[in-house]
């Protein structure tokens, strides 16, 4: 996944925005990442990925996801088709 690819597909929040927000806000808990343009509050597919970015940041690593954007999007579509979403 590249910096400008969307991690939160519901609200179109890019990895770059999330990483910059992490560095600026320095949240103690991953759940605060929803304050970055509502990430993770739509279908909630991206919540595990938000947690991963947060845990990388907390460990002093450069946050980043290695999944391909196409695979990420198709997996999210399958998730939604199974009815595993709350909105959007």
Quote the pLDDT of residue 44.
Answer: 94
pLDDT digits (tens, 9 = 90+) for 3-31: 999 999 999 999 999 999 999 999 999 99
Cα 15 from Cα 9, distance rounded (Å): 11
Quote the pLDDT of residue 86.
Answer: 57
pLDDT digits (tens, 9 = 90+) for 49-84: 999 999 999 999 999 999 999 999 899 989 888 886
Quote the pLDDT of residue 83.
Answer: 81
């Amino acid at each position: 996944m590249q910096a400008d690819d969307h991690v939160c597909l519901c609200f179109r929040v890019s990895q770059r925005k999330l990483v910059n927000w992490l560095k600026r806000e320095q949240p103690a808990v991953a759940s605060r990442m929803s304050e970055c343009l509502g990430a993770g509050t739509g279908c909630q597919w991206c919540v595990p990925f938000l947690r991963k970015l947060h845990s990388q940041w907390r460990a002093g690593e450069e946050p980043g996801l290695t999944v391909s954007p196409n695979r990420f999007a198709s997996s999210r579509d399958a998730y939604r088709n199974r009815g595993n979403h709350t909105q959007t």
